[in-house]
Amino acid sequence: MTTVHALARRKFLQKSAAAIATSALPAINFAQTAAPAASAERQFSPQPGNWRTFEVTTRVDIIKPQGATRVWLPIPSVNSDWQQSLESGFSSNGQTQLTDDDKYGARMLYVEFAENQPQPFVELTSRIQTRNRAINWTSKQAIAEDAATLKYWTQPTSLLPTDGIVRTTALEATKGASTDVEKARKLYDWIVANTFREPKVKGCGEGDIKTMLETNNLGGKCADLNALFVGMNRALGIPARDVYGLRVAPSAFGYKELGGNSASLKGAQHCRAEVYLKGYGWVGMDPADVAKVMRQETAEWIKSPQNAIVAPVNKALFGGWEGNWMAYNVAHDVNLPNSKGPQLGFFMYPTAENSGGRLDSYAPDDFKYQITAKEIKA
């Protein structure tokens, strides 16, 4: 592993070696948190506060085995001031191995089932703590970050080129801006104004930002829109990264599109973005969720971010997010250990392969997997 990779991993994965347990977790009593009724005046202002603890369970059943089958499940790998990735446990009738991608430190459970294994299954349970996140724009701090690490997060990936049309678009979008904060704000506003949520896109999208710009097809989901935001920041030399994860509970502010149904988290995968800004450190952002509220929060497609429903979300997600979501990893260009399939652009879905090739992670009813979350109350 290179020094830069080691630095990038160290910042995000402190104590990760102790975060995995190889036995099942003890039984715990749980209580479910319901979203409050929406008020007449919409509010969305998450602020850092108490930690919430969740236990997230992913179960995969191979309904129609076809030769030897391999499964990879993401494990929460982020430790920060807004998330703590605690222990994980699992059970399976296959051969299991805890591993990572050896590049970004994206932890995973790898399971291999023999060709004649009856009713192959794996169940993974991870415990995490999460809380709201919000930057105080009125108070700068001398937050130090390693120079090599910052440079690492400006580099291109296979889906995030930083030259050509990505750079020219970023330069055009940030005309008149001088500081990194001003540039990030203009890019955020550009994403909200020029892209849109496209519900027909499978999963969270593909994140092919060069093709999006070249075709002027700017509709997509979080892995498209936030990837474009991250790529444009990197094209200007501003460190930025996608953070891939999962919504685990309803929004405390009553926004139905900004939460997950804990009893069934099918389709709850969601990626966010972080941008490093001098004087503030790594700052959470999510223009894709602004687009989601505009398109799907009401029956009518809202076209203006100044709309009373959208405005508080648009304001809060430039600098924070709600802690009803957990992060898996920040990985791009993921090579799954022992995989015979192509490289993944990112890794936040259960992934499986058999003798017929890779199964469709975006179709949890065909490739049968279920994800649930339970909040642990003290």
Tens digit of pLDDT at every position of the chain (378 positions): 443 344 444 444 443 333 333 333 332 222 333 333 433 468 999 999 999 999 999 999 988 888 999 999 999 999 999 999 999 999 999 999 999 998 999 999 999 999 989 999 999 999 999 999 999 999 988 778 899 999 999 999 999 999 999 999 999 999 999 999 999 999 999 999 999 999 999 999 999 999 999 999 999 999 999 999 999 999 999 999 999 999 999 999 999 999 999 999 989 999 999 999 999 999 999 999 999 999 999 999 999 999 999 999 999 999 999 999 999 999 999 999 999 999 999 999 999 999 889 988 877 666 789 999 999 987
Q: What is the pLDDT of residue 64?
A: 81
- CA-atom Rg of the chain in angstroms: 20
Q: Check: CB of residue 238 under 8 Å from CB of residue 184.
A: yes
Q: What CATH code is carried by the domain that includes residue 294? A: 3.10.620.30
Q: What is the pLDDT of residue 6?
A: 41
Q: Check: CB of residue 22 under 8 Å from CB of residue 89.
A: yes
Q: Please state, as a whole number, how many other Cβ atoms lie within 10 Å of the Cβ of residue 51.
A: 14
Note the Cα 224 to chain centre separation in Å.
12
Q: Please state, as a whole number, how many other Cβ atoms lie within 10 Å of the Cβ of residue 200.
A: 6
- Are 189 and 338 in the same domain? no
Q: Please state, as a whole number, how many other Cβ atoms lie within 10 Å of the Cβ of residue 304.
A: 12
Residue 108: both structure tokens together: 């995973």
- Are 292 and 366 in the same domain? no
- Please report the DSSP string for 221-256 in residue order: -HHHHHHHHHHHHHHTT--EEEEEEEE-S--TT--G
- Are 55 and 32 in the same domain? yes
Residue 207: both structure tokens together: 């994140």
- Are 250 and 360 in the same domain? no
Angstrom CA distances, 44 to 47, 88, 181, 314, 315, stand at 10, 32, 22, 9, 9
What are the residue ranges of helices labelled H in 100-237?
147-152, 164-173, 180-194, 209-215, 222-235
Q: What is the pLDDT of residue 275?
A: 98
Domain count, the chain: 2
- Are 170 and 119 in the same domain? no
Task: Give the CA dihedral 337, 338, 341, 344, nearest 10 degrees.
Answer: 0
Residues pairing with 271 in the sheet: 244
- Are 188 and 311 in the same domain? yes
Return the amino acid letter for 367: F
- Are 160 and 15 in the same domain? no
- Are 23 and 155 in the same domain? no
- Are 104 and 18 in the same domain? yes
- Are 171 and 215 in the same domain? yes
Coil, strand or helix at 90:
strand
DSSP state of 183: H
Q: What are phi and psi of 3, to 5 degrees?
A: -60, -40
- Are 363 and 228 in the same domain? no
Residues pairing with 357 in the sheet: 354
- Are 124 and 137 in the same domain? no
**What is the domain extent for residue 337?**
3-43+50-131+331-376
Largest Cα–Cα separation, the chain = 64
pTM of the model: 0.88
Q: How far apart are CA 201 and CA 49, in angstroms?
A: 35
